Structure 1
Amino acid sequence: MPDLISLVARRCRWFWMPLSLSGLLALLTFLPAFAQKNPPKPANVYVDAAGVLRWQGSKEEVALFGVNYTTPFAHSYRAHRRLGVSPEQGIDQDVYHLSRLGITAFRVHVWDVEISDTLGNVLANEHLRLLDYLLQRLKQRGIKTVLTPIAYWGNGYPEPDTAQTGFSAIYPKARAYNHPRAIRAQENYLRQFLNHRNQYTGLLNREDPDIIAFEVCNEPHYRQPEAEVSEFVQRMVAAMRSTGYRKPIFYNLAESPAVANAILGSPVQGFTFQWYPSALVNGHTLRGNLLPLVQQYPIPYARDPRFAGKPRLVYEFESADILQPVMYPLMARSFRSAGFQWATQFAYDPLALAHANTEYQTHYLNLAYTPAKAISLLIAGRVFRQVKRNQQFATYPQDSTFDGFRVSYRNSLSELNTPAEFYYTSTTTTAPRQPTALRRVAGTGSSPVVQYQGTGAYFLDRLVPGVWRLEVMPDAIQVRDPFAKTSLRQPVTRIAWNTQPLRLALPGVGADFTVRGLNEGNTFQGQANDGTVALQPGVYVVAARGKSTAAYSAQTPLGAIRLGEFVAPAPTPGPVQVLHEAPAQLPAGQPALVRATVAGAEPTDSVLLIAQHFYGPTRTILMRRPTLTTAEATVPAELLYPGQLRCWVVVKRNRQTTTFPGGFAGSPLSWDYAPQDHWESSIVPTGASLPLFRAAQDQNRVETGGVNGGGWADYITTGSGQLALRLLQAPTPASPPAFFDPQAPVAFLRAYFSDRLTARAAETGTFRELVLRARCGGGAGPVRLVLTTRDAAAYATEVAVGPELQEIRVPLTAFQPAQQVLLPRPYPSFLPMTFRADGPAALPLAQAEVLQILLAPAAASATSERPYLDIESVELR
């Protein structure tokens, strides 16, 4: 290990401040406690004889985990400017947060269209300068880089493309590899890009030891003949090598499997893959247990000797449209089991944009705005570095606890518990493994170490025995579905700077510890009472009573950060908001708990629930405030007789009254309150049917579509005027694509219904059958119904559906243990189609949460009509 003081000095030379002797001694004392297995600096990489990427000098295996990040380019760049935030400021803030999350890897596909001309000459413009600036800042935090110089992307998404100067503006992917002028432009561009000298570091891109490799181009689209592909790859590699560059060159092997042989036989040193296990752009948050989607990553080329002897990287991955903080750790484990040495999520949301999630609607990750998901990324990084390359595990869910890690879908929890580190994404009752050995804690929610009602993340780092650094982020309150259509004018998550009690049970600190603010503007000084102190977001030194903390200033280095560094968004301006999702049904004669999320309300505000039986009695109920961001009240049973319950939430501040939904002034009890907005639920008697899917109401809460090109979905009206979901079979391709499975379903419906079943939990045992209202046409194939449980066990049956719209009654006893189809379909398409987990012999309906309806391929038919299945409704009776 290099000398720690000189190492920190090199890492932090851009903010190094003189230390007093006491500060230096303190630094010497606490730095070893924070020593982590970070990438060496500086060090180049090489590929050994077995195809393993290693660090020169130490010869240790490379294992780096991180993110893509795009502020120098495209929408992210324009949005920063539009919001009045300098890109440099945004980069500084985001790179600090990446460092806090333990990120060791950065990758981006460079928007060549913004930094080149049509001949491939590199343009010394603002975008290139900002990329240089970003690489410098990453270098200072010890984060390594892989760059993909050619993106082939336009620069618009999600907006229209703007003025573009580069060769990709005139040569699209499908022509870039076989058009002579395009090839020459790319050769020229690659040579100039590798020879570009970073104006901040003074290093050529090709010689920077922190740029450990290059991937030639992003997700190329190729077709036969393979000879054209082979020639193109060879010419790109030759152009890069002509600069004197000697480190590894990687190439995408997942995007164009039809010409995989050309890439496998090329002179590249390694291969890149991506993983979007839940597809992309579903348009809403996915719910249910999606962990089966990420329990393995089998590679079809694994036994090919041209593949086995070369390293592999994951350039992009994401659990798209999923907020659950449980996906990343199992994805990281699956990557390591498949032999990957690098994995970078796509894409980390810049702090300036994350309130609206506009950059990529289907992705959402930011420490301030998605704190639990961000902590899960921190945990996943530890998984990636700790799990051995090619280490194998039992199939989920039997092995969701492994090597000090725990992943629990039921608790929405990812956890790391080692003697030195304790990280968790949600409230947990797990006790630290060795409390006296703890050096680092991070989490959201509460644990035996930290009791906290806020929703932001927090970090605790031990400096010396009895002295800790505490960082507390502000509350993040989701106010809209972040995966629906977005706009910079419409926040999906609000930030609140609340002062809240925080209770600590740290070894050696005691119950009367002292607290001193460290970040800029934070002058707090106080002492805990019975282990509890009320704090606003910021950075603090926490110390056992009597311990001197004078040696610790805001400028004192701590690994790659300074003690006083703190980055958090300002409180979201705007009026109070109340969010509530009314259950579709409520059981008659039983009291009902109504919960709501409250954003922007003061602790002194009154929150009232107005509950009304339609044209019947009305009750005004004072709502409890379990936390500053939640409210709840119980509707009495006497109001819940069969019919309809209508609800409003009223927030009172002084003499001002605001009613939700809608945020209208006034009260629905007033004679002149005109707005008609309200929440409503059906109050149903015992024995009433329970809807699992209704085409007329549920379009925005289900997933539908084709399976790997086999079909598609649409909505139509039936003869009775009712809306129905139509699943259709696509025409049989003349040349099936790679990995096409002719036996797989052609189209699907996936419907989450656990929330509806939970509302009727007392009656679960009374349901006897599933009733499907549907019809088939065009010679459609068999129809399969699948019910999956929260533990990922599946139960299935096939049903016969006729050409006339009819009710098909299926006894629940007909559902037998089976496999589920992994939906939505993952990308790449070579990933597994099905998954099976053990469960009880009979369907445990109380644990069921997702319905799948699968349309199998039809036999050859003489009719020209496309085979289809129309689904009007599905319910339990």
Structure 2
Amino acid sequence: MRHLLLQSHPFSSFLVRLSGLGQQRFSLALSLLSFLLVGQLQAQEVPPTGKNVYADAAGVLRWEGSRQEVALFGVNYTAPFAYSYRAHQKLGVKLEQAIDQDVYHLARLGVNAFRVHVWDVEITDTLGNLLENEHLRLLDYLIQRLKERQIKIVLTPIAYWGNGYPEPDTAMTGFSSIYPKGKAYNTPRAVAAQENYLKQFLNHRNKYTGQLNREDPDIIAYEVCNEPHYRQPESEVTTFVQRMVQAMRATGYRKPIFYNIAESPVVSNAILSSPVDGFTFQWYPSGLVNGHTLRGNPLPFVDQYPIPYQQDPRFTKKPRLVYEFESGDILQPVMYPAMARSFRAAGFQWATQFAYDPMALAYANTEYQTHYLNLAYTPAKAISLLIAGKVFRQVKRGQQFPAYPADTVFADFRVSYRNGLSELNSPEEFYYTNTTATKPRKAAALRHVAGTGSSSVATYEGTGAYFIDRVAPGVWRLEVMPDANSVRDPFATTSLRQPVTRIDWNTQPLRLNLPGLGLDYTARGINHNNTFQAVATNGLVRVQPGVYLLAARGKATSAYAAQTAFGSIKLGEFVAPAASEQPLQVVHTPQVQVAAGRPASIRATVLGASPTDSVLLIAQHFYGQTRKLPMRRPTLTTAEATVPTELLYSGLLRYWIVVQHNGRNTTFPGSFAGSPRDWDYAPKEHWETPIVAASAPLPLFRASQDQQQVEAGGISGGGWADYVTTGAGQLALRLLQAPPTGATTPASPAAPIAFLRAYFGDRLATRASDTNNFKELVIRGRRSAGAGSVQLVITTTDATAYVAAVELGPEVQEIRVPLAAFKLGAQVLLPRAYPGFLPLSFRAPGPVALPIAQAEVLQVLLSSGAAQDGQERPHLDIESISLQ
């Protein structure tokens, strides 16, 4: 392919003339020419500069001039406003510096779209006059930096939000502080304030670019307001939308105006008939703020995005954008590429995740607890965003795909829940979010590699992301991010005082096998203060975080400096957080059970230990014999050991992990000086796990212990969840039916009203050799008078669902449901997705009989009963559920 490019390039005749020069000069010229060509090839994915967009007669957004379809993918980012602004100030971080660093990372991840709902409450007064303050100045600054990286922008001028979350609101000056969403559209003074504000905002001149907001070609469109809340009558909505559009057009603004149609479906007719140019949607497929990490196969949540207005000509002739999306409370790096594919199938031309965490705050994930995305702190998820951007730009608008799991391999992409892997494998690009056995499609043509983990191209023991880009034949740019390791659940309650992810600047081995580089290449650090120089041995170098220029033996690299432009970045640019100021840590969660009579593996993450430190496992059968076992360290940050069978007879396994450094012992849990084997070791903290016989039950849910590991609640306003005690004093989860209000209706008459969802895949894995012994599911609970029917659903790693009914009486009892009673069926997609028009259930193909060894999630579904006003709410109480 390269020779064809050279033949067709206008520099080809120049190259022929250069061939008469000496070999060294010719090689240098060829390298420079190849570098220019790479820049041109990269630019093909970059949006055009200085071009506006327009909607054609078919409702497709196109670029002026080229008439190419728009396909832009990126993030929301909120540093100039609200909590993010205050938190940066609290930490003493300069906002301009934070913006510079974060925008570099966005460019590194291939982001070419940015959206934010502007906190009008911070930049206006109550009459809608624009205030020239720090928030507005920082927005101007952010826009300038985005433009420099060729990232296009959609702004939503009216947010309606207070500025507090997750804190209380602070002093606010704007009209949104006195007119809430439900009144902002039909209160005359509020409407007038918004008209005034929109005119002034569009006519605002950016202090850095000198352009009016309404004229800036990189601000390609506006969405009027963020997630409005409307009710009948529609006429009030019609009038409001018309006035907002008129106010914007009165400024001379002529580019597209979009409006949210997903938030208030009760008045969708008014939005469809309005003079707006297009419509906006959001997608939170797993709900929000579950309070902990969701586990299990999430891909059925994002299999499709059906839009209820697809047959309405008022909708089909206008473009559509996704202003916000996120896989709430999910860290698995598989969701974004699947979502991007579903967005394209639904006809979207813009999609922006909400919200990219500023690097200065991402250590604690405090900005939005249920969202978590940052290149340094969530490296695999960030690489999945890079891959998703490629999906969004390469999949055709409206292209259809088969249902999951048949859609896990499409075009150049692959998504694997089992492997925790998203992957792009094209002739020139190879990106992956986890260690992969996949081989590059055409190794000789490879130009760009990015990933976490290892592949046939890069074997890496660190936990951060890395990027490898060809600069010229035999010359590559390597960028290595520091190690990132989770130390707490990032989706639990957060605080700036509580890190959830730790950063370490470790020296890690990296073995490369890149076309044209060879195994004895040179590596030279080129970012600021990076003086590293080395020659690889059999392809291996040991590197710290930074940027390196790699060159095959004999290749000259003096033409490439830190300031050399490379696409939308510079060769020597590098941004990473400093190492976390945290002491030695051991992160470990004990297993719920281990099997008696069989060796058991204990694994832990060890952070802050040097390569020469020893790690020991002290294992003890309760008040029985104790063994000191050396732990293997497969990588710098992992340790593992096998507890022998002589300690694993039925009973209780207690254990500690000891790190030995310079002759001193530190014991975990607790980080105490000394060792549990010392006569005067006083701390009582330890880990423990029951040792059970092969015939012992496996607990899938225990109300007394699992409150923080399960999801439970109502569906579509039909119910809610609580914890109560039974007459015997046992704790039970209560699923209740909500009083009839008429305000909400279930998704369908057969839809459940409340649910329990419990992931147990990790528990079953520890009893894998016992799965053939399990014959029934045992539920202990009761169902009150008037409560509806109860269904049990077990889903497998491949998302195949098996369903059985269970009958419970008014008194606490044990009901045994044979596993043979579970029949192939559908799972309910829980927690419930937003918007509410998205699918409620999902059915995947699978074997007729439940393959219990592959089971991982249990659902308990309560249907609506014959409740009467004034009676006790119908409910279902669950003490425990187990496999026996």
- Taking structure 2 as the reference length, what is the TM-score of the superposition? 0.96
Q: What does residue 752 of structure 1 align with?
A: 759
Corresponding residue to 2:803 among 796, 804, 807: 796
The alpha carbon displacement at 1:418 in A equals 0.4
The answer to whether the Cα contact below 8 Å between 1:118 and 1:185 also exists between their aligned partners in 2 is yes
The alpha carbon displacement at 1:733 in A equals 2.5
| Amino acid aligned to 1:584 | V
Q: What does residue 9 of structure 1 align with?
A: none
The answer to whether the Cα contact below 8 Å between 1:284 and 1:482 also exists between their aligned partners in 2 is yes
The answer to whether the Cα contact below 8 Å between 2:476 and 2:550 also exists between their aligned partners in 1 is yes
Cα–Cα, structure 1 residues 711 and 111, in superposed 2: closer, same or farther, change >3 Å? same
Q: What does residue 352 of structure 2 align with?
A: 344
Q: 1:164 aligned to 2:159?
A: no
Corresponding residue to 2:241 among 218, 233, 239: 233
Corresponding residue to 1:188 among 187, 196, 202: 196
* Alpha-carbon distance in structure 2 between the residues aligned to 1:506 and 1:419: 13
The alpha carbon displacement at 1:38 in A equals 1.5
Q: 1:768 aligned to 2:782?
A: no
The answer to whether the Cα contact below 8 Å between 1:596 and 1:631 also exists between their aligned partners in 2 is yes
The alpha carbon displacement at 1:502 in A equals 0.5
* Alpha-carbon distance in structure 2 between the residues aligned to 1:141 and 1:369: 22
The answer to whether the Cα contact below 8 Å between 1:197 and 1:204 also exists between their aligned partners in 2 is yes
The alpha carbon displacement at 1:24 in A equals 6.4
Q: What does residue 853 of structure 2 align with?
A: 846
Secondary structure of 2:708's match?
A: helix
Q: What does residue 211 of structure 2 align with?
A: 203
* Alpha-carbon distance in structure 2 between the residues aligned to 1:540 and 1:686: 54
**Within 5 Å, which residues of 2 pair with 1:238-637?**
238-637=246-645
- Among all aligned residue pairs of Structure 1 and Structure 2, give the percentage whose two residues are the same amino acid: 72
Residues 717-736 of structure 1 deviation map (CA, whole Å, 9 limit, x = unaligned): 11111110000111223244
* Alpha-carbon distance in structure 1 between the residues aligned to 2:352 and 2:43: 23
The alpha carbon displacement at 1:622 in A equals 1.3
Residues 769-796 of structure 1 deviation map (CA, whole Å, 9 limit, x = unaligned): 0000010114100000000000000000
The alpha carbon displacement at 1:23 in A equals 9.3
Gaps of 5+ in 1: 6-19
* Alpha-carbon distance in structure 2 between the residues aligned to 1:21 and 1:185: 61
The answer to whether the Cα contact below 8 Å between 1:423 and 1:442 also exists between their aligned partners in 2 is yes
The answer to whether the Cα contact below 8 Å between 1:33 and 1:462 also exists between their aligned partners in 2 is no
The alpha carbon displacement at 1:656 in A equals 2.9
Secondary structure of 1:699's match?
A: coil
The alpha carbon displacement at 1:670 in A equals 2.1
The answer to whether the Cα contact below 8 Å between 1:746 and 1:857 also exists between their aligned partners in 2 is yes
| Amino acid aligned to 2:784 | G
The answer to whether the Cα contact below 8 Å between 1:33 and 1:439 also exists between their aligned partners in 2 is no
The answer to whether the Cα contact below 8 Å between 1:34 and 1:439 also exists between their aligned partners in 2 is no
| Amino acid aligned to 2:512 | L
- Taking structure 1 as the reference length, what is the TM-score of the superposition? 0.97
* Alpha-carbon distance in structure 1 between the residues aligned to 2:471 and 2:44: 14
Secondary structure of 1:674's match?
A: coil
The answer to whether the Cα contact below 8 Å between 1:23 and 1:552 also exists between their aligned partners in 2 is no
Corresponding residue to 2:750 among 743, 761, 770: 743
The alpha carbon displacement at 1:501 in A equals 1.1
Corresponding residue to 1:40 among 26, 45, 48: 48
The answer to whether the Cα contact below 8 Å between 2:717 and 2:744 also exists between their aligned partners in 1 is no
| Amino acid aligned to 1:197 | R
Q: What does residue 832 of structure 2 align with?
A: 825
* Alpha-carbon distance in structure 1 between the residues aligned to 2:294 and 2:157: 33
The alpha carbon displacement at 1:741 in A equals 2.3
The answer to whether the Cα contact below 8 Å between 1:233 and 1:266 also exists between their aligned partners in 2 is yes
The alpha carbon displacement at 1:859 in A equals 2.9
| Amino acid aligned to 1:97 | H
Residues 212-258 of structure 1 deviation map (CA, whole Å, 9 limit, x = unaligned): 00000000011111111111111111110100000000000000111
The alpha carbon displacement at 1:628 in A equals 1.0
* Alpha-carbon distance in structure 1 between the residues aligned to 2:601 and 2:10: 56
Gaps of 5+ in 2: 12-27
* Alpha-carbon distance in structure 2 between the residues aligned to 1:27 and 1:815: 61
The answer to whether the Cα contact below 8 Å between 2:35 and 2:472 also exists between their aligned partners in 1 is no
Q: What does residue 666 of structure 1 align with?
A: 674
| Amino acid aligned to 2:533 | Q
* Alpha-carbon distance in structure 1 between the residues aligned to 2:525 and 2:63: 40
Q: What does residue 12 of structure 1 align with?
A: none
* Alpha-carbon distance in structure 2 between the residues aligned to 1:430 and 1:740: 42
| Amino acid aligned to 2:774 | F
Q: What does residue 704 of structure 2 align with?
A: 696
The alpha carbon displacement at 1:262 in A equals 0.8
| Amino acid aligned to 2:478 | L
* Alpha-carbon distance in structure 1 between the residues aligned to 2:82 and 2:39: 40
The answer to whether the Cα contact below 8 Å between 1:592 and 1:635 also exists between their aligned partners in 2 is yes
* Alpha-carbon distance in structure 2 between the residues aligned to 1:224 and 1:301: 19
Cα–Cα, structure 1 residues 24 and 499, in superposed 2: closer, same or farther, change >3 Å? same
The alpha carbon displacement at 1:542 in A equals 0.8
Q: What does residue 23 of structure 2 align with?
A: none
Corresponding residue to 1:138 among 146, 150, 154: 146
* Alpha-carbon distance in structure 1 between the residues aligned to 2:461 and 2:836: 42
Residues 820-873 of structure 1 deviation map (CA, whole Å, 9 limit, x = unaligned): 000110000100000000011100000000000000111354761111000000
The alpha carbon displacement at 1:508 in A equals 1.0
Secondary structure of 1:700's match?
A: coil
Residues 677-700 of structure 1 deviation map (CA, whole Å, 9 limit, x = unaligned): 111100001200110000000001
The alpha carbon displacement at 1:510 in A equals 0.8
| Amino acid aligned to 1:757 | L
Instruction: Tell me the number of residue pairs that the alignment of Structure 1 and Structure 2 aligns.
Output: 861
The alpha carbon displacement at 1:620 in A equals 1.0
* Alpha-carbon distance in structure 1 between the residues aligned to 2:178 and 2:161: 11
The answer to whether the Cα contact below 8 Å between 2:475 and 2:549 also exists between their aligned partners in 1 is yes
RMSD over aligned CA atoms reads 1.5
The answer to whether the Cα contact below 8 Å between 1:746 and 1:855 also exists between their aligned partners in 2 is yes
Q: 1:732 aligned to 2:740?
A: yes
Q: More deviation in 39-48 or 598-607?
A: 598-607
The answer to whether the Cα contact below 8 Å between 1:316 and 1:346 also exists between their aligned partners in 2 is yes
Cα–Cα, structure 1 residues 800 and 56, in superposed 2: closer, same or farther, change >3 Å? same
The alpha carbon displacement at 1:503 in A equals 0.4
Q: More deviation in 667-676 or 210-219?
A: 667-676
* Alpha-carbon distance in structure 1 between the residues aligned to 2:512 and 2:538: 9
* Alpha-carbon distance in structure 1 between the residues aligned to 2:829 and 2:96: 42
The answer to whether the Cα contact below 8 Å between 2:584 and 2:608 also exists between their aligned partners in 1 is yes
| Amino acid aligned to 1:791 | D
Q: 1:720 aligned to 2:721?
A: no
